[in-house]
């Protein structure tokens, strides 16, 4: 009997060892690019946990690898912890949105000029966190509220002000954090007044367009570069009282990393320069609508710009 | 931290109340439906030796499927909200009740049944007056196991819009806000413990005859 | 004179969380080679007394000596290996074969395999289980009686000087129990072990014991031969205990030896002859069936040693009855 | 579905191996903790009731919440996941260890000690083999539930098959969800099967059953 136990243990140990070997083997394989140069510096790349951020995180990682860096990917982090991970040094950079930096991280008042917002966040980030904002993208992935076109027409809702008036007839599909985040519903309430929705339910962010499509809700939170918005079925409400600042994309990177390896700036900026709204929506759509893997889509796009 | 949690709770007491109600509602519904399916099925299995093996095996395999997977996979078919969550949770709750009903009936001393039949009871009377009361303690144990699992797993239903206390956990994770998480997590644990305690009390009452 | 195997010196036992003593102030000596039965109702302290001998329970006060040495000074495991221990529930190890069960202690004592195998076979023969059929079986493949036989064999594996038996036949049906009792008597005769045997069954106690120890409320009420107890109960309790047995039952436990009148070896009477161990019950039956008024008692090897008459049987029976009433 | 498999089998394999790694490592740690705890508390009725109630309450905390509670302590990734899985497993494993040892008939223990067997001998040769079927049953249940709960660990970036499920949910993409389900269920099924065969052998051994020759 004792023999049998040790047999079981042995089996577990062996299988564990095998797993370890394979896992480490695989990750190191994918990390080392085909043209590793003399500098074997490892950069830890992060991203948030939604499609666009994943694609961008992967895209920047590919650019660094192409330039001969080793990249350790820590993609798919929760939006709420990614900033702290960066400060802690768990990651070295991640793609962030200027508006999010302004409202959520710095908790400043909203501003509406892209340049102004960028200047403010980059100055304050450097001073407060020793973090550097690289060049921002042309793409602007603002927050928004999206409705099914039919419902919007039915209640004649075009702007968020209209929505506020008809809120009691509207079913809202939230994803939890929007109700709590300072640049989410609380910000809207401050500017537009309270929203007494007929119904409010939480759904995973990934299924919100399905929920709208299946008429389980009328209204959802949107990001303006989402692939689904390319469809005619949905309409984004106009933020007529300007709650939301512009949300341009830029990698935020730790100061010491940039100082040690200044050329990283150019490598990443070159990628950001290619990102306009059309491109980002197209990339998102490849993943969310055509159901391809984000790393594949990123690689494909990178091959066209390198 | 606890104070902050309580402050948040008081601020959102309406939402909390609704979430608790929805959580209880969905758990109770799942338990009720699975009880109504599993008990008759278990009885039937205990009397039909040949099928019992395959039925019980099938449900044991179903039980192996992670609850998250059941939930996510039910969604494209059954849509979002209450129905798929109920479906997933019911599937999760059936096996313990089924298996315990089965063994509860199987464990009854055949002499007792022989006596009852000898006294002139018909099959229906034996079932109601003898078999069900004797199997009840084990059936309730199964119900207890199911209840714990259902109450804990009902939090996952938040992902597909079924509401409940999972909303707090879900939001708490998204926000990385421990206050909100604490409210959700602790409430579910409390709910589960309360259920356990009350079902144990019921079980105690039902098994009175076993003590002196 | 036989040595003293076990001696109790003012032994008492009080369980934790109770105010009453389970056993109070027991003093006694048990000589080597004797078969002692301890008789009492449940709660009388009989099992406690027994289990203090192999230190399953520790005495609260007093001292128990094993061949003159205090058992507290002996290494507990080595000491227990010298004692055979048999309990009502048998306690065979369910995951070991009969052979492995019996061989447990010899194996620990590092006997060589051959010796163990031989020992196991001999013991199985002794308890009337053909080794070939039973060696490889597991306990659950045995009947209750067979299990207890294996238990007995296991207890004797390392040839202990002393056997402790706690109601070993309590859960066994009447007929099997009779057989086991007789086999046990035979084994004891053959091997001359010292046996302490706890039982609540009066006839079993009287049938098996050279001497019977009657326990009540933690105290020894009487410690004497079966005949001594029946003819002179020490007190009311003992009298009542044996009175619950009817006369015929009592005759079953009385042996020819205990009431016979000694006679000269040269008797040429052609009367019916019985052995010294024959029960008075059988002799009475003989008188009633054959219209005879005496039998001769014969000891194998020594010839006729005594005589029992109808009158005498009546007297001894009445004596027992009057004294116990 | 098949196209998805053909295209991404390498990624799926990595996730499967990650899952295996999570499950194996947390099971080993769980066992190393649970068996001594079980043995320690099995001696006292009071202690075992108290400890099991405590583990029972912990067990009833939803996994999603427990994962996030431990985030500050262990950080993102596998560490937290393993900690949570180990904590959950304690309930099942400790409970079964305690039951396993307490279910041994008292007469067997008494007979063993009465014969003069040492505690060490009693533990390894008598008690452990007799308690083994129930302990193995606990290990089996713990393994299956660990495989299930480990899918949720993807939320805290611990990898594993849950990534397929959550990504599928994020992309709202059925093949991914299906493969996640199939792989995790298959893993659980195989583990269940494998451990069941060990268990059957242990039961056979503990009960003393041989092929055929019952009386």
The Cα of D49 is separated from the nearest Cα of chain A by a number of Å equal to: 28
CA atoms A204, A208, A210, A214: torsion sign: positive
- What mean pLDDT comes out for the span D12-40? 93
In contact, D156 and D80? CB cutoff 8 Å: yes
pLDDT for the residue numbered A7: 43
Q: Scanning every residue of chain B, which has its alpha carbon at the shortest distance from the alpha carbon of A104?
A: B175
pLDDT, residue A1, reads 33
pLDDT of residue A104: 83
Express as a percent the part of chain B with pLDDT over 90. Answer: 24
Question: How many other C-beta atoms can be found within 10 angstroms of the C-beta atom of residue B94?
Answer: 24
Give backbone dihedrals phi and psi of D157, rounded to 5 degrees, phi first: 70, 35
Question: Is A71 in contact with A43 (CB distance < 8 Å)?
Answer: yes
* Per-residue pLDDT, B40: 93
Closest CA to A201 of A171, A169, A221, A236: A171
Distances (CA, A) of D138 to D51, D98, D131, D134: 17, 11, 11, 6
Rounded mean pLDDT, A75-104: 86
State how far the alpha carbon of B168 is from the alpha carbons of B155, C101, C314, D37, D60, in Å.
9, 60, 95, 34, 16
Contact A173 B161 (CB under 8 A): yes
Range of the domain at D142: 2-207
From the list C107, C101, C95, the residue with the least C-alpha distance to C135 is: C101
Rg over CA atoms, chain C: 21
Q: Which residue has the tokens 């029992």?
A: C308
Residue A41 pLDDT exceeds 80: yes
DSSP-derived secondary structure letter, A201: E
CA diameter of chain D: 68
**pLDDT band at residue A96, thresholds of 50, 70 and 90?**
very high
* Per-residue pLDDT at A272 exceeds 60: yes
Q: Tell me the pLDDT band of B182, cut-offs 50, 70 and 90.
A: confident
Report pLDDT for D20.
Answer: 94
Helix (H/G/I), strand (E/B), else coil: A136: coil
Nearest CA in chain A to D32: A9
- Percentage of the residues of chain C whose pLDDT score is greater than 70: 93
For residues C172 and C145, is the Cβ–Cβ distance under 8 A? yes
* DSSP letters spanning D158-179: --STHHHHHHHHHHT-HHHHHH
pLDDT over 90 (residue C7) = yes
Q: Does domain B2-207 have CATH number 2.60.34.10?
A: no
Asked if D20 and A15 come within 8 Å (Cβ–Cβ), the reply is yes
Specify the pLDDT at position B157: 84
Asked whether residue A93 carries a pLDDT value surpassing 50, the answer given is: yes
- How many domains is chain D built from? 1
The answer to whether the Cβ–Cβ distance between A180 and B180 falls below 8 Å is yes
Q: Which of D13, D46, D25, D3 has the alpha carbon at shortest distance from D150? A: D25
Could you give the CA distance from residue D36 to residue C183 in angstroms, rounded to a whole number?
A: 46
pLDDT of residue C322: 39
Q: Do D149 and B66 touch (CB under 8 A)?
A: yes
Average pLDDT of the residues of chain D: 86
pLDDT at C325 over 70: no
Residue A299 phi/psi, 5° resolution?
A: -65, -45
Residues on chain D touching C56 (C-beta within 8 angstroms): 110, 113-114
Using a CB-CB cut-off of 8 Å, the residues of chain C touching D126 are 93
| Domain membership flag for residue D114 | yes
Q: What is the mean pLDDT of residues A208-220?
A: 89
Q: Flag whether pLDDT at A27 surpasses 80.
A: no
Is A12 in contact with D27 (Cβ distance < 8 A)? yes
Residues in C closer than 8 angstroms to D107, CB to CB, are: 87-91
Q: Which residue of D has its CA nearest to C98?
A: D208
Interfacial D residues in 179-198 facing A (CB < 8 Å): 198
- The predicted-structure confidence for A102-130, as pLDDT tens digits, reads as follows 988 888 888 888 899 999 999 999 999 99
Distance CA D126, CA D112 (A): 8
* D170/A51 touch (CB, cutoff 8 Å), yes or no: yes
Q: Does residue C195 carry a pLDDT above 90?
A: yes
Rounded to a whole number, what is the largest CA-CA distance in chain B? 68
HSE at residue A227, side-chain half, CA atoms within 13 A, is 20
Beta bridge partner(s), residue C8: C28, C64
* pLDDT above 80 for C112: yes
- Where residue C71 falls among pLDDT bands split at 50, 70, 90? very high
Could you report the per-residue pLDDT of B19-40, keeping only the tens digit for each? 999 999 999 999 999 999 999 9
The stretch A240-265 carries a mean pLDDT of 91
* Domain boundaries defined on chain C: 4-246, 249-324
8 Å CB contact of A176 and B160: no
CB distance C290 to C208 below 8 Å? no
DSSP codes, B48-105: -HHHHHHHHHHHHHHHHS-HHHHHHHHHHHH-SSHHHHHHHHHHHHHHHHHHHHHHHH
Q: Is residue D31 part of a domain?
A: yes
**Interface subset of A 170-199, CB within 8 angstroms of B:** 173, 175-177, 179-181
- The whole-number pLDDT of residue A253 equals 95
Q: How confident is the model at residue A39 (pLDDT cuts 50, 70, 90)?
A: low
ipTM of the complex: 0.71
pLDDT band, very low/low/confident/very high, at C13 (cuts 50, 70, 90) = very high
- Phi-psi map region of A208: left, alpha, beta (phi>0 left; psi -120 to 50 alpha): alpha
Nearest to D17 among A2, A22, A293 (CB): A22
pLDDT digit string (tens) for A134-169?
999 999 888 889 999 998 999 999 999 999 999 999
**What's the confidence (pLDDT) of residue A94?**
95
Torsion, CA B136, CA B139, CA B140, CA B143, rounded to 10: -160
Do chain C and B touch: 3 or more Cβ pairs under 8 angstroms? no
Tell me chain B's radius of gyration from C-alpha atoms: 20
Q: What is the dihedral sign for C-alpha D103, D105, D110, D111?
A: negative
Nearest to A15 among D10, D24, D128 (CB): D24
> Stretch D74-90: mean pLDDT, rounded?
87
A237: phi then psi, degrees, rounded to nearest 5:
-75, 145
The closest CB to that of C89, out of D107, D118, D215, belongs to: D107
Query: pLDDT at residue C249 above 80?
Result: no
* Nearest neighbour of B171 by CB, restricted to A79, A179, A210: A179
| pLDDT at res. D25 | 95
Q: Tell me how close the Cα of C52 comes to any Cα of chain D, in angstroms.
A: 11
The rounded mean pLDDT for chain C is: 86
Q: B26 near B89, Cβ under 8 Å?
A: yes
| C-beta atoms of B64 and D63 within 8 A | no
Per residue in D125-182, pLDDT (tens digit) is 999 999 999 999 999 989 988 998 898 888 777 888 988 888 887 777 888 888 888 8
pLDDT at A47 over 70: yes
What residue in B sits closest to A79 (Cα-Cα)? B174
Q: What are phi and psi of C212, to 5 degrees?
A: -115, 135
Given an 8 Å threshold on Cβ–Cβ distance, is C140 in contact with D207? yes
Cα nearest neighbour of C89 on chain D = D107
**Is C90 strand, coil or helix?**
coil
Of C38-42, C176-180, D67-71, D151-155, which range is least confident?
D67-71
**Is D215 part of a structural domain of the chain?**
no
Quote the pLDDT of residue D26. 95
**C-alpha R_g of chain A:** 22
C56:D113 CB<8 A: yes
What are the residue ranges spanned by the domains of chain B? Answer: 2-207
Chain A contact set for B83 (CB, 8 A): none
Which of residues B176 and D195 earns the better pLDDT score?
D195
Q: Mind listing the pLDDT tens digit for each residue in C72-86?
A: 999 988 899 889 999
pLDDT in tens, B160-173: 888 889 888 888 87
Q: Would you place residue C267 in the very low, low, confident or very high pLDDT band (cuts 50, 70, 90)?
A: low
The neighbours of chain A, by the rule of 3 or more Cβ pairs under 8 Å, are: B, D
- The continuous run of DSSP H or E covering C275 comes out as strand C273-275
- B partners (3+ CB pairs within 8 A) are A, D
Across chain A, what does the average pLDDT equal? 83
pLDDT per position as a tens digit, B76-134:
778 788 888 898 899 889 989 998 999 899 888 888 888 888 887 888 888 888 888 88
Query: What is the DSSP secondary structure assignment for residue C212, as one 8-state letter?
Result: E
D27 and A26 Cβ atoms separated by less than 8 Å: no
- For residue D202, the domain's CATH number is 1.10.3720.10
Residues of chain D in contact with residue B181, where contact means CB-CB under 8 angstroms, are 65, 68-69
What is the distance between the alpha carbons of residues D202 and C57, in angstroms, rounded to a whole number? 33
Burial class (CB in 10 A: 0-12, 13-18, 19+), B181: buried
C-alpha span between C41 and A2 (Å, rounded): 44
Cβ pairs A/D, distance under 8 A = 72
- What's the pLDDT score for residue A19? 47
pLDDT band of residue C324 (cuts 50, 70, 90) is very low
Gap between the Cα atoms of C198 and C183, Å rounded: 17
Q: Give the model's confidence band at A32: pLDDT under 50 very low, under 70 low, under 90 confident, else very high.
A: very low
Which one-letter DSSP state was computed for residue C2?
P
* Chain B environment of A180 (Cβ under 8 Å): 171, 175, 177, 180
Q: D116 and C81 in contact by Cβ < 8 A?
A: yes
**pLDDT > 90 fraction of chain A, expressed in percent and rounded:** 44
B144 pLDDT above the threshold of 80: yes
For residue D113, give how far its alpha carbon lies from the nearest alpha carbon of chain C (Å): 8
pLDDT tops 70 at residue A228: yes
Closest chain B C-alpha to A99 CA, distance in angstroms: 17
Kindly list the residues from chain B whose CB atom is less than 8 angstroms away from the CB atom of residue D155.
Answer: 173
Q: What is the 3-state secondary structure (H, E, C) of A58-112?
A: HHHHHHHHHCCCEEEEEEEECHHHHHHHHHHCCCCEEEEEHHHHHHHHCCCCCCC
Task: Indicate the pLDDT class of residue A58, thresholds 50, 70 and 90.
Answer: very high
Using an 8 Å CB-CB cutoff, list chain D residues near B166. 62, 64
Compute CA distances C308 → C195, C229, C297, C304, whole Å: 31, 20, 7, 12
Cα(C29)–Cα(A266) distance, integer angstroms: 103
**Do D and C share at least 3 CB pairs under 8 Å?**
yes
Q: What are phi and psi of C28, to 5 degrees?
A: -170, 165
CATH architecture label of C4-246: 3-Layer(aba) Sandwich (3.40)
Q: Which CATH architecture has domain C249-324?
A: Alpha-Beta Complex (3.90)
- A252, A133 contact by CB (below 8 A): yes
Nearest neighbour of B189 by CB, restricted to D60, D189, D192:
D60
């Amino acid at each position: 009997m004792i023999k049998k136990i040790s047999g079981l243990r042995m089996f577990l140990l062996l299988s564990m060892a095998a797993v370890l070997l394979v896992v480490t083997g695989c990750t190191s394989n994918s990390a080392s690019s085909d043209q590793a140069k003399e500098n074997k510096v490892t950069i830890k790349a992060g991203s948030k946990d939604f499609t666009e951020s994943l694609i961008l995180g992967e895209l920047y990682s590919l650019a660094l690898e192409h330039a001969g860096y080793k990249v350790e990917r820590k993609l798919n982090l929760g939006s709420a912890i990614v900033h702290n991970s960066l400060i802690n040094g768990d990651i070295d950079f991640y793609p962030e949105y200027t508006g999010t930096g302004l409202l959520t991280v710095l908790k400043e008042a909203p501003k509406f000029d892209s340049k102004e917002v960028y200047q403010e966040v980059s100055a304050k980030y450097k001073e407060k966190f020793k973090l550097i904002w690289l060049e921002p993208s042309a793409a602007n992935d603002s927050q928004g509220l999206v409705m099914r076109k039919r419902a919007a027409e039915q209640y004649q809702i075009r702007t968020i002000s209209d929505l506020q008036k008809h809120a009691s007839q509207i079913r809202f599909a939230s994803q939890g954090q929007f109700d709590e985040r300072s640049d989410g519903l609380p910000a809207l309430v401050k500017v537009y007044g309270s929203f007494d929705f007929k119904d409010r339910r939480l759904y995973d962010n990934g299924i919100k367009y399905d929920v709208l499509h299946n008429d389980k809700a009328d209204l959802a939170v949107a990001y303006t570069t989402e692939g689904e918005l390319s469809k005619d079925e949905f309409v984004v409400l106009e933020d007529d009282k300007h709650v939301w600042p512009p949300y341009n994309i830029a990698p935020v990177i730790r100061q010491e990393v940039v100082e040690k390896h200044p050329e990283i700036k150019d490598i990443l900026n070159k990628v950001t320069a290619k990102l306009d709204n059309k491109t980002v929506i197209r990339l998102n759509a490849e993943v969310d609508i055509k159901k391809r893997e984000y790393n594949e889509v990123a690689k494909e796009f990178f091959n066209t710009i390198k | 931290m606890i104070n902050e949690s309580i402050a948040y709770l008081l601020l959102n007491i309406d939402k909390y109340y609704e979430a608790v109600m929805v959580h209880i509602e969905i758990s109770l519904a799942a338990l009720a439906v699975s009880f109504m399916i599993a008990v008759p099925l278990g009885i039937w299995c205990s009397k039909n030796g040949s099928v019992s093996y395959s039925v019980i095996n099938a449900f044991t395999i179903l039980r192996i499927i992670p609850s998250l997977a059941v939930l996510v996979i039910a969604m494209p078919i059954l849509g979002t909200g209450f129905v798929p969550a109920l479906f997933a949770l019911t599937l999760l709750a059936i096996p313990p009740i089924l298996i315990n009903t089965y063994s509860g009936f199987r464990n009854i001393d055949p002499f007792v049944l022989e006596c009852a039949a000898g006294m002139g009871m018909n099959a229906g009377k034996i079932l109601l007056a003898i078999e069900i009361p004797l199997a009840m303690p084990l059936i309730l144990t199964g119900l207890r196991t199911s209840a714990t699992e259902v109450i804990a797993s009902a939090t996952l239903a938040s992902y597909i819009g079924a509401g409940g206390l999972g909303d707090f956990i879900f939001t708490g994770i998204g926000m990385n806000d421990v206050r909100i998480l604490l409210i959700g997590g602790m409430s579910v644990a409390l709910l589960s413990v309360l259920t356990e305690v009350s079902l144990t009390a019921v079980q105690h009452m039902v098994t009175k005859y076993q003590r002196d | 004179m036989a040595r003293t195997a076990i001696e109790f010196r003012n032994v008492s036992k009080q369980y934790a969380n109770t105010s009453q003593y389970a056993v109070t102030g027991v003093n006694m000596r048990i000589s080597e080679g004797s078969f002692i039965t301890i008789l009492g109702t449940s709660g009388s302290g009989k099992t406690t007394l027994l289990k203090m001998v192999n230190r399953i329970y520790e005495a609260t006060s007093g001292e128990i000596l094993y061949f003159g040495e205090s058992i507290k000074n002996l290494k507990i495991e080595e000491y227990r290996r010298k004692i055979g221990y048999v309990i009502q529930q048998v306690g065979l190890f369910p995951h070991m074969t009969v052979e492995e069960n019996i061989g447990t202690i010899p194996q620990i004592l590092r006997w060589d395999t051959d010796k163990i195998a031989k020992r196991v076979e001999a013991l199985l023969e002794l308890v009337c289980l053909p080794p070939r059929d039973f060696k490889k079986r597991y306990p659950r493949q045995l009947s209750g009686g067979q299990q207890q036989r294996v238990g007995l064999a296991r207890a004797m594996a390392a040839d202990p000087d002393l056997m402790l038996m706690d109601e070993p036949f309590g859960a066994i049906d009447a007929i099997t129990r009779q057989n086991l009792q007789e086999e046990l008597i035979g084994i004891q005769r053959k091997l001359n072990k010292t046996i302490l045997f706890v039982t609540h069954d009066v006839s079993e106690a009287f049938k098996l014991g050279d001497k019977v120890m009657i326990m009540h409320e933690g105290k020894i009420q009487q410690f004497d031969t079966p005949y001594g107890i029946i003819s002179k109960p020490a007190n009311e309790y003992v009298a009542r205990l044996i009175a619950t047995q009817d006369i015929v039952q009592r005759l079953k436990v009385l042996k020819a030896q205990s009431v016979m009148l000694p006679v000269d070896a040269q008797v040429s009477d052609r009367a019916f002859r019985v052995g010294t161990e024959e029960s008075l019950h059988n002799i009475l039956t003989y008188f009633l069936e054959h219209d005879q008024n005496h039998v001769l008692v014969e000891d194998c090897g020594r010839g006729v040693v005594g005589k029992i008459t109808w009158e005498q049987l009546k007297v001894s029976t009445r004596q027992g009855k009057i004294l116990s009433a | 579905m098949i196209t998805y498999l053909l295209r991404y089998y390498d990624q799926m394999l990595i996730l499967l191996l990650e899952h295996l790694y999570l499950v194996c490592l947390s099971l080993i740690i769980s066992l190393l903790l649970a068996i001594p705890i079980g043995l320690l508390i099995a001696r006292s009725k009071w202690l075992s009731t108290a400890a099991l109630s405590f583990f029972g309450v912990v067990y009833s905390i939803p996994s999603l919440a427990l994962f996030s509670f431990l985030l500050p302590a262990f950080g993102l990734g596998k560490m937290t996941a393993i900690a949570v899985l180990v904590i959950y497993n304690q309930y099942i494993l400790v409970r079964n260890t305690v039951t396993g040892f307490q279910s041994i008939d008292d007469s067997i223990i008494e007979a063993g000690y009465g014969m003069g067997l040492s505690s060490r001998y009693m533990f390894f040769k008598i008690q452990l083999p007799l308690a083994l079927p129930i302990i193995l049953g606990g290990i089996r249940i713990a393994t299956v539930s660990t495989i299930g709960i480990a899918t949720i660990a993807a939320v805290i970036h611990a990898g594993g098959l849950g990534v397929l499920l959550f990504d599928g949910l994020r992309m709202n993409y059925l093949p991914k969800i299906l493969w996640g389900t199939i792989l995790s269920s298959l893993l659980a099924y195989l583990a269940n099967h494998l451990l069941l065969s060990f268990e059957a052998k242990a039961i056979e051994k503990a009960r003393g059953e041989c092929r055929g020759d019952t009386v």
